[in-house]
Amino acid sequence: MNGEPLLEAESHGVVGGRLALFAAGTWTAERAGELERLIERVIAGHGRVDGIDIDMQRVERLDTFGAWLLERLFRGLGGGDTRIIGLAERYRALVLQARDVNHTRPAQAHVSSLTAALDLVGRTVVHIGHDIVAVIGMIGALTAALGRAVAHPSTFRFTSMVHQMDRVAWRAVPIILLITFLIGGILAQQGLFHFRQFGADVYVVDMVGILVLREVGVLMVAVMVAGRSGSSYTAEIGSMKMREEIDALRTMGFDPVDVLLLPRVLALIFAVPCLTFLGSMAALYGGGLMCWLYGGMSPEVYMSRMREAIDLLDLAVGLIKAPFMGLIIGAVASVQGLAVQGSAESLGIKTTDAVVKSIFLVILFDGVLAMFYAAIGM
Amino acid sequence: MAEPGNDAVIRVRDLVVGFGGAPVLDRLSLDVLRGEILGFVGASGAGKSVLMRTVIGLVPKSEGLIEVDGVDFGAAPLAARRRIERRWGILFQHGALFSSLTVLQNVQFPIREYLRLSQRLLDEVALAKLEMVGLTADVCHKYPSELSGGMIKRVALARALALDPDIVFLDEPTSGLDPIGAGDFDDLIRTLQRTLGLTVFMVTHDLDSLHTVCDRVAVLADGKVITAGPIPILLASEHPWVKSYFRGKRSRVGGARAAPEPEPNTVSRISDKIMRHQVS
């Protein structure tokens, strides 16, 4: 029953301006590729004719693909008077329906590549501007929400905040400890390897101590938290936006910033300093272990050297930055989550954006603060 | 192909489906005949969607037999299953359009995957399908999130019809549409069914659809098909659920024309009057 489709001109060809054609086989989706070539060949071979007689007695099956290709044949041959002979009755409606379709082409949006490139650059710049404004706006909205929560403590969602703390702080502890421990070890190993060449092994302790407490500890934790919790906030809020849950909250008279965002962001502001402290300790421990195993420095020497190298100020420098980093990550995640549109793709894009943008902003903020600290001699 | 005299495209025999506890479908048997529109009704949660999803292979069955054109779908090798799947199209309740593809790409997706066709033919056929379901060329480059509920259903139907299936499964095709839109959609299904010679399996709650387009209606209750047949037969049924469904206040018969219950209370009499008024 799956006979090859066939379409050819009858031997007498064109008589009195009318082209006689003979069709057979299956004119269905599976054969549409072959059929299209047959039809194009007939159109190319005959050009426009006044009329067409097509014998379709031997066509076994026909579906919309076949019906459309038949219509395309008619239109390609000039669309004159057509007579279909012997087509099974059940296919008549389909062939008639094919006459009505494809009269208008969908408009194609064609732009030159240069214009498109310039357009993209312009849009991106505008976008960055909007993003910065949105993050600042979000921080403002969060501050206002915090003000309301302080004025009416009963409206604050304390349970939600504790739940979020459990998610972003407590459950993040093992992975943060592991990663910062490894980073501390790697720093010490690299330091030992290079400092040893000019006999300055012992200064490795200074390097590890200062670097970890002031910069690496808080940055690593911020990057981890952005990837782990910022992305999940965006995905969560974004899918709530997609399912109109946020609109539902609004119509019930709740501000989503109060209900959803403030507890989450406060949890992050709390989580990042705690994780930074734990992470820094793990990194110092990792550094010490590496100095002992790889550099042959006894733990006592490492400890006493560390005591000389760092003071409370170094720890403070790192920890002061931490809550702000939590705020940045939370605000960016919230902005991106609320910017999610209807499609699943948009959710993916915004989640990626949240991570990339918060890491970028965190590093930018860290750099600005480093200059500030240097200026005030901290 | 089915033997002559037995023209069931889909034969379900003694199907049992359960999720842990009590079975949702309990020794259910059902035939879907070639070229008919079968309406499938049942209370919410009775397992209508479960049956549809089991037949199309999304939910595993515990026991029983599902035959499509005489082939045991569950036991068939993968290639045979793909061949069967290629012959049906499914309209999911919420459309299930791919949100990252445009309308035109959504319709082209199954065609592109299964057939090697030129881009020109792909575009033309996809547009033809969209026009057949009553859409115009200007929706082609829109994304599903930019469409209204009725348009999503139409695009989803066009996608279900993309490969010219023999069987179409419709899961609540008119839910979420206004009565006029639902009526249009019913007409559309009827027209397409006639033109394309489809077999339609339609899960629905819409009494108007059942009355206007369905050739037969099957009723699901207690995990079984309790009755199946043309509407007049169902109207004669004495099963309490079938009775209240087809002769209840919201039905055409119960609300508008049928004799009131032996002792109707005032409220239902008033509502009967209101209904009659609206209908007439």
ipTM of the complex: 0.71
**One domain for residues B124 and B182:** yes
All residues of chain B having their beta carbon less than 8 Å from the beta carbon of residue A100 are: 131
Cβ–Cβ < 8 Å for A189, A289: no
A32 at B interface, C-beta within 8 A: yes
Residue in A65, A343, A346 nearest the CB of B125:
A65
pLDDT digit string, tens, across residues A192-247: 999 999 888 889 999 999 999 999 999 999 999 999 999 999 999 999 998 889 88
Tally the domains of chain B: 2
**One domain for residues B62 and B144:** yes
pLDDT score recorded for residue A33:
84
Cβ–Cβ < 8 Å for B17, B61: yes
Residue in A64, A93, A109 nearest the CB of B125:
A64
Mutate to test the interface with A, among B161, B195, B199 (most CBs of A within 10 A): B195
- Strand duo B71-72 + B88-91: pairing: unpaired
Q: Is the pLDDT of residue A4 over 60?
A: yes
Q: Which residues pair with B17 in a beta bridge?
A: B25
Please compute the mean of the pLDDT values over residues B113-142 and round it to a whole number: 84
Inspect the interface and report whether the beta carbons of B124 and A72 lie closer than 8 Å: yes
Q: What percent of chain B has pLDDT over 70?
A: 86
B196 at A interface, C-beta within 8 A: yes
Inspect the interface and report whether the beta carbons of B99 and A343 lie closer than 8 Å: yes
pLDDT digit string, tens, across residues B4-51: 445 888 888 888 888 877 788 888 888 888 888 888 888 877 788 888
Please compute the mean of the pLDDT values over residues A294-308 and round it to a whole number: 92
Inspect the interface and report whether the beta carbons of B137 and A106 lie closer than 8 Å: yes
B109 at A interface, C-beta within 8 A: no
Rg of chain A taking only CA atoms, in angstroms: 35
Q: What are phi and psi of B220, to 5 degrees?
A: -105, 125
**One domain for residues B192 and B120:** yes
Domains belonging to chain A, first-starting first, are: 6-99 (3.30.750.24), 120-375 (no CATH)
Widest distance between CA atoms in chain B: 68
Judge whether B173 lies within some domain: yes
Domain holding B226, by residue range, is 8-233
Q: What are phi and psi of A19, to 5 degrees?
A: -95, 130
Q: Is the pLDDT of residue B270 over 60?
A: no
All residues of chain B having their beta carbon less than 8 Å from the beta carbon of residue A32 are: 115, 117, 121, 125
- Cα B26 to Cα B12, B29, B63, B83, B196: the distances in Å are 12, 9, 9, 28, 34
pLDDT score recorded for residue A8:
77
Judge whether B239 lies within some domain: no
**One domain for residues B52 and B138:** yes
Inspect the interface and report whether the beta carbons of A68 and B128 lie closer than 8 Å: yes
**One domain for residues B172 and B228:** yes
